[in-house]
Amino acid sequence: MANLSLEALQEELRHQPDWLMVQDLDGVCMPLVLDPLTRVMPAPYIRAAATLQGRFCVLTNGEHAGLRGVNPLVERALAGTANPAEEGLYLPGLAAGGVQWQDRFGQITYPGISDAELATLDALPAKILEGLNQQLTPLLPELTDQERDALFQRTILANPLSPTINLNALFSQLSGDVERQQQLQQRSLALMQNLLAEAEAGDQRGCFFLHLAPNLGSSDGVELPKPAAPGNVGTTDVQFMLRGAVKEAGLLALINDHIARRTGNAPLGEHFNARSAPTGHTELLELCQRSIAVEHMPVLVGVGDTITSEPDGQGGWRRGGSDRGFLTLLQELGNRFGRQNRVVLVDSSAGEVDRPSLQHPELKGLSDPDDPLKPDVLVPGGPDAYVAWFEQLANELGS
């Protein structure tokens, strides 16, 4: 499938005057872990990202700020050696799926989000904890109350913009028990669906949605869970997110910002953001073609790790994954604008979370023979290999 090495990609970029790398975080520049609080971000990677300023940005469903955000990882990695706010060492780009902007000095903005929506999100972690106690306790009879409470605390990610049920700690407790893992998925999703219905019963109809990671695509705008199976736990995260917080819209916001910085003109509008973007894939492509001059479109490099593909039982495929949408859109923008855009897929299967591996010759569980998404570069060495190359890229092509 892939026909380029990282070295060949670097050679291509060496000859491109205008390029932008858009990169996911977890599973790409750091291994996947059961507890986000144990993540470690390499200091050399952070400095390399700063060296590539103007050519590098992040696009993640996680968040910049907060206890489990990325900024504390940057601060810990650089502790005693640098002040990221003064030296511009925070990772610039979009978080929370595309609605949380940050520059390299750590200045954060929330375009298009109301105070009422923020209040709804702020109240959710307590409601999720109450629901976990009611719904999941019967599935964990072997645990003491204290053990169960500790697990539930690790299961709730109280992200300010995307409160999340993360099942990794519970899955680890039930390793090999696929039936109960599936029941955990089903009950957690039902709990979040009830909370979504409650929020929409008031005056916030259409303001939120549930993002599942990984997923099997969507049906009628609703993402489909990937059931746990032997050797692959499937959906681990159920995120309560703001409508419009999808990476495809975030990609356009990043392109708009990049062109504005280079030319002084924002082709999609000065106030364009992920929440004001069209919702459909085709509409996003058409907006770009209508609004962006060909000569201003940069060469794009998209880097992610989370794509899925499973047989649908009817001769077709269910495709999903939180990086699939923006990587596919990035690939299609290259075709529409005559740019040699590249898709880089990093193997995140060697972390603490069971994932399909790039080592499989047919990328089973990740892709399929009819998959429209065609990664150009595979990184079977995972985050360590990617970070080593990223540092080389910055050393040669950074500012």
Q: Mean pLDDT throughout 71-90?
A: 97
Q: Give the β-pairing of 299-304 and 19-23.
A: parallel
Query: Looking at per-residue confidence, does 141 or 175 come out higher?
Result: 141
Alpha carbon distance 239, 210 (integer Å): 6
Q: 320, 361 in Cβ contact below 8 A? A: no
Strand 377-379 versus strand 19-23 pairing type = unpaired
Please report, rounded to a whole number, the percentage of residues in the chain having pLDDT higher than 90: 83
Which pLDDT belongs to residue 398? 86
Quickly state the pLDDT bin for 2 (edges 50, 70, 90): low
Q: What is the pTM of this model?
A: 0.88
DSSP, res 244: T
Please provide the average confidence, as pLDDT, over all residues in the chain: 94
**Can you give the pLDDT at residue 1?**
57
Cβ within 8 Å of residue 136, ≥6 positions away: 152, 170, 184, 187, 188
How does DSSP assign 80-104, residue by residue? TT--HHHHT-SPPEEETTTTEEE-T
Q: Which residues are catalytic?
A: 384
Domains of the chain: 6-110+245-397 (3.40.50.1000), 115-160+163-242 (no CATH)
C-alpha–C-alpha distance, residues 350 and 353, integer Å: 8
The percent of residues in the chain predicted with pLDDT above 70, rounded, is: 99
Specify which of 5-14, 160-169, 207-216 reaches the highest per-range mean pLDDT: 5-14
The 10s digit of each residue's pLDDT in 256-277 is 999 999 999 999 999 999 989 9
pLDDT band at residue 244 using 50, 70 and 90 as cut-offs: confident
DSSP letter at 34 equals S
Closest to 41 measured CA to CA, from 5, 88, 1, 90: 90
Residue 285 has which token pair? 């492509």
- What is the tens place of the pLDDT at every residue in 364-377? 999 999 999 999 99
Q: How far is the C-alpha of 228 from the C-alpha of 182, rounded, in Å?
A: 5
Structure-block tokens of residue 1: 């499938």
> With 60 as the cut, is the pLDDT of residue 299 above it?
yes
* Sequence-ordered list of residues with C-beta below 8 angstroms from that of 62, at least 6 positions apart, any chain: 25, 26, 36, 68, 69, 70, 95, 96, 159, 162
Q: What is the CA radius of gyration of the chain?
A: 20
